[in-house]
Structure 1
Amino acid sequence: MDLTVRPAQAADIPELGRVLGLAFQDDPIATWLLPDDATRARRNGYMFATLTRHQFLRHGGVEVAVDDAGAMVGAAVWASPGTWHTSQLTTLRCMPALVRAFRGNVMNAAKMSERMAEHHPREPHWYLAFIGTLPSARGKGYGQALLNSRLDRCDAEGVPAYLESSKPDNVPYYERFGFDKSGELDVTEGGPPLWPMWRTPR
């Protein structure tokens, strides 16, 4: 089985949104924001595609994993050092699609994002905003390849990495890559928590 990780292009964004929407179908935060099982993947996909297009792609931190047939099966969306914070202009550009995605829960999503930003480390780092693979591709090494692609660069350049895990079961997985858990965040006011994780370069 061939396993390829490559930089994402603008033409990849619709498929990237679809893949990450499916990857996050059972995510606790996604379920909290989008309780309708039938529409969650599609509506979450709008959000992933929109944020990737307007915030992350231009900084060179977006990569996709493709199988031996050339089909996208996973993606990792990183913010390069100093670019993790969403500007007001980017927020305005994203707002129509975010309203389409979250509808009546768009303010809950905005408040959650603000709380995450309040706790975000200020030290320069690579920020893993989203990573996921299609359910059918899990356990085949695509997630590992996506992580290692960026973490190898972090190590070579001596730059830390940061993420927030939305699933407790994923915390040990990230720990295998050198991330350390640093507490628990309540960004949903009593809903699902997040586990911030920091990685010192090796």
Structure 2
Amino acid sequence: MRPTTRVAGRADVRGLASVFAQAFHDDPVMAWILPEERARTVGLPRLFATMLRHFYLPYGATDLAAQDTARDPLGGAVWTPPGHWQPTRWRGLRAIPGLARATGRRGRAGVRVTEALERAHPHDPHWYLAIVGVSPAAQGTGIGGELIRARLATCDQLGMPAYLEASKAGLVGYYERFDFRVTREITIPGGPSLWAMRREPR
């Protein structure tokens, strides 16, 4: 039975945060922010939960895939609609305690990543794919692709471009399958690189 896709709500925060924490455990950017494995294991679920609650769920564009009979998600794709890629000052302030608990003494590294991404981010109207991840047990089953295509169909209907950052060179080819193209390389000062990618509507 194929998983079904639906829009995530607040009741899904813990499950989605767990999926993203597993999917991004060995991600170069996350490993740079939290270099100690124990810190990542504890901090990443907190980090993703905080981001979901304060930055993303309010816009109603976070999709998850789950089996019909299961509440726990197998994967998720976090999008922001045009004009909402950057958290408001109020949302940012409310998120500070959770972000601080997640990153501890490595909080400054997280700020460096955020600042670099913001400098590179386009300012014309677009849909932003902020996070996409699938639980390790379900990777390679096509769930991630289904989640991406579902929202790209909306982009095409509305005539809107889409934007993302690939945190691994190996992911560039994956996103190119969905017609994303690299627009620039983003270098974190003292840290890893990411690749900004954009897709024009079809």
TM class by shorter-chain length? Answer: over 0.9
1:3 paired with 2:3, answer yes
- Counterpart contact for 1:18–1:41, Cα < 8 Å: no
The CA distance in 2 between the partners of 1:81 and 1:146, in whole Å, is 18
Aligned match of 2:121: 120
> What secondary structure is seen at the aligned counterpart in 1 of 2:125?
coil
> Gapped runs of 5+ residues in structure 1?
none
1:154 paired with 2:155, answer yes
Question: TM-score by structure 1 length?
Answer: 0.96
Identity %: 42
Deviation at 1:69, TM superposition (A): 4.0
> What secondary structure is seen at the aligned counterpart in 2 of 1:177?
coil
Runs of 4+ in 1 over 6 A off after TM superposition: none
Aligned match of 2:59: 59
Q: Give the AA of the match of 2:4.
A: T
> What secondary structure is seen at the aligned counterpart in 2 of 1:128?
strand
> What secondary structure is seen at the aligned counterpart in 2 of 1:197?
strand
1:34 paired with 2:40, answer no
Aligned match of 1:92: 93
Deviation at 1:132, TM superposition (A): 0.3
Deviation at 1:118, TM superposition (A): 1.3
Aligned match of 1:109: 110
- Counterpart contact for 1:185–1:194, Cα < 8 Å: yes
Deviation at 1:60, TM superposition (A): 1.4
Question: TM-score by structure 2 length?
Answer: 0.96
Worse-superposed segment, 61-70 or 109-118: 61-70
Q: CA RMSD in A?
A: 1.1
